[in-house]
Amino acid sequence: MSDNLIWASAAELGRCYSKKILSPVEVTQQILERADRLQQHLNFLVLIDREGALEAARASEARWMAGMPASPLDGVPTSIKDTTTVKGWPTRYGSHATDETPAAEDAPVVARLRAAGMPILGKTTTPEFGWKALTDSPLQGTTRSPWNLAHSPGGSSGGAATMTAAGVAPLNHGNDGGGSIRIPAAHAGLVGLKPSFGRIAQYPADSPFADVVSQGVLARSVLDSALALNATAGPDPRDWRSLPADRRDYTIGLDDGVRGWKVGLSLDLGHVKPDPEIRDLVAAAARRFEALGAHVEEVGPLIEPLQLFFEPLWIGSFATRLRQIPSQLHGKLDPGFRAAAEKGMSITLADYAKSYEARSKLARDLALWYRKYDLLLAPVTPTAAPSVDTLYNSEAFPRWTKGAPYTLPFNLTGQPAASMPAGLTATGLPVGLQMVGAPRADHLVLRAMRAYESAGGWTWPQPKVIETLARL
């Protein structure tokens, strides 16, 4: 497997399989070897299932040889974030408060990736209970960015982001309850789509954040993101929140462009203060839509500061989790998570009710905004990737102003939103442009992503990543 094929997209691998010039077994074996080599430096996996992945690859090879692939992604290796159940594997959430009990069944997204024929390599790192937009945990240690090992890939799908950006599988599963796909995608120079809430069924939905989390993948191309959504979208009887079945093929119309669209650009959403370099890169990236035939205009304040209205939901949910953990294990928790959870113990039902009222208003106001506009553009984060020793939700890096101020609103509203590469800072770190669609308009967000991608010139492998990995 050549270096070029290490960086091949999932779609390219599928085409090679169909022509019988490449084998799923060969690809899976090479990716497992690459994972072994890079894991000690980057720390992106918490579990590797070599035999299971190779067995799935052999079955895939047989289907391709018979001309009966399960899907265009058949034989393309992937991984699952360790907040998601995989039958026979533990779900540790990066926490000493969990154990090695194997899951009794696959989550819907896992079952659908298996049905698509994708060998599952293992499970990826996450911060404890997915609580923050960095990826380090008491149980599993620190995950590092392949762009610069001194920096975090973001979180909470940081293991998936590092794998994808380091050339270990072309797409990897993640989920997003406050920016956990889009933030690591931005920090790793990847394509990261958070589909509409409910587009991909989730079960078990026992997390306190179950009504804001969307499943998805981190990828290196928009076509791969569309193929993954084709494979995973759909309801499940175990998830009453999941959207009705939609037989849409998200690759159809992907190249129809954005000519004539009216696009709103908000560099601060009305209250966020991005670094000047972030502001300039995102503004320049947004101007590409003008060249694509869209009309782009800066819009006024859209969203009030989030903390006043929505902190009760966040810390109150952490408190719910803390109450489930035996007190003798509290000392082993991430101190930042524990502090937020203990603060949440004082949240009342009235506090929760006010937050849900504010959430309803936010969703209504933004839905009405799309009567005038086709797409909203904004930064993904106010800073580039923080260093690995950053204390999340500290005075130096508050959640509400530096962690997730641009991404969380669209989890609260359930809208589809994505991150696309917007360039590099002077220090060589990626920046993300966020694209937010109207409620349930996933196909239009993908179409905008593809139009932008076609005009952007961002390709893999990125020289800075090759340079960093070559030193390992």
Task: Report the number of secondary-structure helices (H) and strands (E) in the chain.
Answer: 16, 13
Determine if the peptide bond prior to 461 is cis (ω within 30°): yes
Q: Is 436 left (phi over 0), alpha (psi -120 to 50) or beta?
A: beta
Strands (E), 69-178: 78-81, 120-124, 136-137, 141-142, 171-176
Q: Packing angle between helix 222-232 and helix 108-115, nearest 10 degrees?
A: 110
Partners of 443 in the beta sheet?
none
Q: Is 430 left (phi over 0), alpha (psi -120 to 50) or beta?
A: beta
CA angle at residue 433 from 278 to 296, to 5 degrees?
Answer: 100
156 is an active site residue: yes
Q: By C-alpha distance, which of 411, 368, 461 is closest to 4?
A: 461
Partners of 120 in the beta sheet?
78
Could you give the CA distance from residue 411 to residue 211 in angstroms, rounded to a whole number?
9
**Catalytic option among 23, 60, 79, 81:** 81
SS3 at position 103: strand
Q: By C-alpha distance, which of 226, 227, 193, 196 is closest to 213?
A: 196
Do the strands 417-424 and 430-436 form a parallel or antiparallel pair, or are they unpaired? antiparallel
How is the beta sheet containing 78-81 ordered, strand by strand?
A: 45-48, 120-124, 78-81
**Catalytic option among 79, 156, 157, 196:** 156
152 is an active site residue: no
Q: Token match 């006010």: residue? A: 354
Could you give the CA distance from residue 44 to residue 320 in angstroms, rounded to a whole number?
28
Nearest 10 degrees: CA dihedral of 415, 421, 423, 424?
100
**Catalytic option among 137, 157, 180, 207:** 180
Structure tokens at 111: 């079952």
Q: Token match 């393309």: residue? A: 76
266 is an active site residue: no
Q: Is 428 left (phi over 0), alpha (psi -120 to 50) or beta?
A: left
Could you give the CA distance from residue 189 to residue 148 in angstroms, rounded to a whole number?
12
CB atoms within 10 A of CB 11: 18
CB atoms within 10 A of CB 335: 10
Known catalytic residues are 81, 156, 180
